Structure formats: structure tokens, C-alpha cells
Structure 1
Amino acid sequence: MHQRKVLQILLHFRHQNLRYFCSLPATMKVWQTYKYGGPEELVFCDTAHVPFISKPNDLLVQIHAASVNPIDVRMLGGYGSVAIGTLKRLCDFPQDPAEFPLTFGRDFSGVVIDTGRSVKNFKPGDEVWGALGAQRQGTHAEFVLAADSSVSHKPKSISHIEAASIPYVAATVWSALCVVGELRRDTARGMRSLVCAGSGGIGTFAIQLLRAWGAHVTTTCSTEAVHLVTQLGADEVIDYSTQNVMEELKMLKGFDIILDSIGQENADFYLDLLKSWSNSKYVTIVPPFLMNTDKYGVIGGTLLSLVQASLDTAKGLKDGRSLRWALFAPSGCVLKTISQMVDNGEITPVVEKVFQFQDTPDAYRKLQEGHARGKTVISVKNTA
């Protein structure tokens, strides 16, 4: 432990010297919270310490733009704090062991400032994008530390503002459809898919990925978003403002895969929409794990979640259908693939509104209102 502390001190002085010679400031601007609540709990700080690299595979990135996701708003309210706090302690982040202050934000686009000694694929000056695990301090700040495994080179064809809208939803959708749902480009053609809530960040990305791979896409949205999701490639759109969603879906049943991004209460209904005896899957990215741990603690919540997962898995197995849980997982490899798809014109960023960094709480308030049409992005650096 003593040797480790000495190493951290030496690393700190190394980076302080680097900042001196490279004109990198010792402090940065950041939005933080000191207690859980709503956007009114976000506090602007212009004297936070710029983080220094203490892990060999980390990058220090100057953020040009970052997005705000619904999960950020929920985490500001305390959602997942028990499980995420435990994860932080297990990961042992010595530079910030306390629960507060907290900085939210999962994805970003920016420029590499410095790299750990084991980083091989990135160098200072590289434009990168990425998405961070919840155990790390977030991206609603001027600088952030990111593991090299969670970033890739930014697509060349889009701006930082556009790029910041993609990494979190891309990694989440990939985890749901490709890892848990076992979908592949070479097997997706002709498959029938349902994307619930197609106009939000998750939905707009999922529609494009499925369409690029040749799947038939059905989605749900409000009247105002029908044109958007149709432009993105949805083949059939159910307008929940004017149509009975359940009745319409019953007439379209026979899906190979269903992606749920909002947490459906009637999972049995959606299971019945899947094809029988075809290894079809209903995948939700809103499993009850974090809610359970918040309510019952890590041990109790984990045990309850295991029971629920077992029951959900058993529901459709008798006729070749399954209900599966998926979680966001950072992946630079996935982002590398998506970067190529963006530059090839297969994926287009969908940015609904851009807020300036000083207006970050307003971006959170917008997300609270719901009815998203793509992503909300914060311009952190004026040149973004």
C-alpha cells in the first residue's frame, strides 16, 4: 500500500509537470452534484482538479461535446447508487473515493491530451469518441479519464457535436441486439424486428442499425415523430397517439427480435408477439437489477434479480422464445465498427437540441420532459 501511494504521488507530479510544459490547466470546469435530486442540484464548479493518469491503460481526453442520456437524469435522482457505489469501491478509484461530488455523463467526443504508458493505439492530438462505465466520473466536464478499451477514433465525416450523440446508445443497442440478442450483419437480413419507442436516442440508433443490416423494422412513436422514424428506415410505424398499439401489434405478430428501451410492464404480451420455435428474443435494456439493489441492498437485490431473471428466462423456453436482459457495456471495438458505418453513411447522428455548457441543467430538464426526438448534446468546448 505504501509503494502504491508513492507511485500515485510520483504520477501526480509527472502530470503536474506535463501541464506546466504543455500549458494544460490544473483546474477545469465541471457540473457536479453533492446530493441526489433534480437538475436544481447540479452545481457549476470552475476549480475542479483536472484528473491525472494513474492507470497504464487510461487516456486523458479534452471533451469537446458530451450528450445527456435519460440514465443521467435517473442517476442524478439516485437511481442505481447502491450498485454503482459498490462497483466504484471494487474498482478502487483512489483519486475520488467519496460518493460526492458526482459528475454525470456517459459519452463524449474530444481530443486525446495524454496517455498511460501501456496505451498503444492512441496518441495526443487524436480525435476520439467513447462511452464510460458508471463507476467513472462523468463527461459533463472539460476533461475526463477513459480506458483505452472504451474509446475509438472518432468518425471523420461528422463533428464533435454529432459524434457525442452516438457512443452510449450505440454500445447499449449493440449489447442488446448483438451480444444478448445474438444478431449479426450476415444473419439479420429479412428478420422481423420491433423497436419500442423508436424516436428516442436508443430507438433512432437501433432502427438505423437494423435497417443497415437488412432487417424489417416496426416501431412505435407519437404522431410528431412518424416522419423522423420513417426517414431513418422504419418499414412500419404505429402511432400511439392515434392508434391502439396492442391491437396493431397483435396483427403484426411474428417478430424475430423485440428491443424494449422503456421497460414494458406486460412482458407476457410482448413474448406472445415473437415467433414460436425460432429462437426469437424479447430483449429489455431496463432490467430491475439497479432498482432492486437500491431497494434491498446489494446482496438482497442481487438475489432477487437472479430469481427474476430465472423466471423471465423460463417464460418462453417451452416454445423457443426467450426474454432476456441487457445492460450497457463500454466497448471501443464496437465504436470502431460504428465509426466505419457512420463514415459509410449507414448511420446518421440524430441530434434534437444542443445546449451550451453553462446551460447543462436545462439539458437535464429537457430530458425530464420525455418525448425525445433523438439526442440532446452539450457543447463543452466552443469549437465543437
Structure 2
Amino acid sequence: MWIQKGFFRPFLPKFPFIPGTDVAGEIVEVGSAVREFKPGDTVVSKLNFWKAGGLAEYVAASEGNTVALPTGVSAADAAGFPMAGLTALQGVKTIGTKFDGRDTGANILITAASSGVGTYAVQLAKLGNHHVTATCGARNLELVSSLGADEVLDYMTPEGAALMNSLGKKYDYVINIAKANRWSVLKTTLSGQGRVVDVAPNLSNIVASFTTLFARRKLSLLNQSLGKEDLRFLLELMEEGKLRTVVDSRHPFEKAAEAWEKVFSCHATGKVIVDM
């Protein structure tokens, strides 16, 4: 265990008492059992989800969930991605992506593509050679396109609400990040062997995944379980310029409440960062 300070990315928790899970900065103290790091090292860490504690000048983190920060990757950019980046990576891996240069790709849909998870998911899906249709609000169409999406739909239009691409082609996979999308709509977009990976399932989709035989075969609820090696993989992609953090806004620690307001508004584009 050690203490570090630097940058914090506010995390919108499922429960209001969890005050942040992602941090990046400089180690100022290490425990006697720590072997990989020393004071002065710059690192990025995913804190324990149930304990968190990232909104502080000094935080304690586990060696098992911390990775050295590569040269060329800023602490602010790194602080944005542990939870969201790992969730996006698991979603893209769940649809069979290997990132070994042999991925043949599939026709996929990513919803809420301008969100924290979505911005990473689009980039990772393109690295896996997938053809990506994405949904977001009108103001973020250009941004999501710049991340690599082949087609971007405004979710407020009839086509966007129906999740239908311009060619009317069904999807091999849907990575659903938009909480409002119901299984009754999602299933109509799938090809014969298509599947949905639901990152932020609403109650209706949770019930369907357990009670409906067709949904149980076609709908997977994502439970983020990736760890340190995957965190290191994402950092390597960032160092190589293949993955970037989209930063909505940065706030000084004294104005952390403003950052929380931005997160809870559900209208942030990418990540919200607090500087210590």
C-alpha cells in the first residue's frame, strides 16, 4: 500500500458514498511489502470500488491495481481511464476482439459513444478492425467520428432512436452503454447470430436477461473484472498514440463540487478531471 497525490477522475457511482475510484500522480510513501514501486514514481491506479477515496490530496492504493505511468502520458489523461477504459476494453474483448493483428472485424454498434466508456470503446473497437456505428448527441457527432467511428447517429433522430445505420444492416454485436435502451429495441437490430453486451443495463434488461430464454442467449450483462495487465495494455496504447482520453473539463480541487455537478448532469463528453 502507498500514498499518492496528483489527479482524480470523478466517478459516477452506483451508490452515493463511493467518492472516486481513479487516480494518477506521484508516490510519496510505500508500505513495507511493496516491491514494484518507490517514492517519487509516477503511477495510475484503480482504487477499490467499494472503498474508493480518490477525491483527496493523498490516497492509499493497492500495488495490485497500480501501473507505472509511461513517459509521454500525462497524469490527467491517465486518471481518466482506469474504470472507464477497462470497462470499454472488457466490452470489446467480450465480442471476441484479440488485438493480435488477426482480428477480421465485425459490424458493431456502440451506444452513448461520447460518454467516458464510449469514447474508449470506439477507439478500441477500431483497433480491433471492427466496422463501428455509434450513437451520441448532435453536438458530439464530429468528435465521435474523429475517434474512428464509421457512421455516427444522433440518438434524437428517428434513425438514431431505432439504432439503425444508413444501410439498414443488422449488427453482429451491440455494446450498449446507453441506459435508456431497452432489450425490446436492441434485439431488433441484431443479425441472426448477433449479441448484445450491456454495459449499463436498466432494470428491464436485467429482468429480460434472467427470465427470457431468447434474451439469455443474446444479452450479456457486463461485470467489469479486468486487472493490472489490462491496465498496462491500455497505457501502452496511449503511449503509442493509439488511444486517447477525451477530457470534458478540468477543475481545481477547490472547485471539486463543480466537477461532481458536471458528472451528475450526465452531459459530460468524455472524462471530468480534478487537479490536486
1:230 match: 145
Give the letter for the 2:3 counterpart: V
The correspondence for 1:201, drawn from 106, 113, 116, is 116
Take 2:267 and 2:244, find their aligned partners in 1: how far apart are those partners? Answer: 20
Closer, same or farther: CA 248–361 of 1 in aligned 2, 3 Å = closer
Percent identity of paired positions between Structure 1 and Structure 2: 26
Take 1:103 and 1:363, find their aligned partners in 2: how far apart are those partners? Answer: 15
Take 1:329 and 1:138, find their aligned partners in 2: how far apart are those partners? Answer: 20
Q: Deviations over 1:240-261 (max 9, x none)?
A: 2444324451753422221111
Take 2:133 and 2:58, find their aligned partners in 1: how far apart are those partners? Answer: 40
1:255 match: 171
Task: Confirm whether residue 310 of structure 1 aligns to residue 210 of structure 2.
Answer: yes
Give the letter for the 1:273 counterpart: T
1:52-71 correspondence to structure 2 within 5 Å: 59-71=1-13
Closer, same or farther: CA 360–148 of 1 in aligned 2, 3 Å = same
Please state how far the C-alpha of 1:265 moved relative to its aligned partner: 4.4
Secondary structure of 2:135's aligned partner: strand
1:25-44 correspondence to structure 2 within 5 Å: none
Secondary structure of 1:276's aligned partner: strand
Secondary structure of 1:275's aligned partner: strand
Secondary structure of 1:256's aligned partner: strand
Q: Deviations over 1:11-69 (max 9, x none)?
A: xxxxxxxxxxxxxxxxxxxxxxxxxxxxxxxxxxxxxxxxxxxxxxxx21322001113
1:261-300 correspondence to structure 2 within 5 Å: 261-277=177-193, 280-287=194-201
Give 4+ residue runs of structure 1 displaced > 4 Å after superposition. none
Take 2:267 and 2:52, find their aligned partners in 1: how far apart are those partners? Answer: 27
1:140-219 correspondence to structure 2 within 5 Å: 140-178=55-93, 180-186=94-100, 188-219=103-134
2:221 match: 325
Take 1:103 and 1:268, find their aligned partners in 2: how far apart are those partners? Answer: 32
* Structure with the higher fraction of residues in helix conformation: 1
Take 1:137 and 1:207, find their aligned partners in 2: how far apart are those partners? Answer: 27
Take 2:58 and 2:86, find their aligned partners in 1: how far apart are those partners? Answer: 21
Question: Structure 2 length normalisation: TM-score?
Answer: 0.89
Take 1:336 and 1:267, find their aligned partners in 2: how far apart are those partners? Answer: 34
2:135–2:163 contact (8 Å) kept in structure 1: no
Take 1:225 and 1:287, find their aligned partners in 2: how far apart are those partners? Answer: 23
Give the letter for the 2:164 counterpart: L
Task: Confirm whether residue 361 of structure 1 aligns to residue 257 of structure 2.
Answer: yes
Give the letter for the 1:69 counterpart: F
Take 1:248 and 1:169, find their aligned partners in 2: how far apart are those partners? Answer: 23
Secondary structure of 1:125's aligned partner: coil
Give the length in aligned residue pairs. Answer: 273
The correspondence for 1:123, drawn from 21, 28, 38, is 38
1:149–1:333 contact (8 Å) kept in structure 2: no
Closer, same or farther: CA 132–349 of 1 in aligned 2, 3 Å = same
Task: Confirm whether residue 370 of structure 1 aligns to residue 269 of structure 2.
Answer: no
Larger radius of gyration: 1
2:5–2:59 contact (8 Å) kept in structure 1: yes
Unaligned runs of 5+ in 1: 1-58, 77-101, 293-304
Closer, same or farther: CA 191–360 of 1 in aligned 2, 3 Å = same
1:130–1:151 contact (8 Å) kept in structure 2: yes
Give the letter for the 1:282 counterpart: V
1:59-138 correspondence to structure 2 within 5 Å: 59-71=1-13, 74-76=14-16, 102=17, 104-138=19-53
Unaligned runs of 5+ in 2: none
Take 2:3 and 2:191, find their aligned partners in 1: how far apart are those partners? Answer: 46
Q: Deviations over 1:207-266 (max 9, x none)?
A: 111112211111011221011001111100011244432445175342222111122442
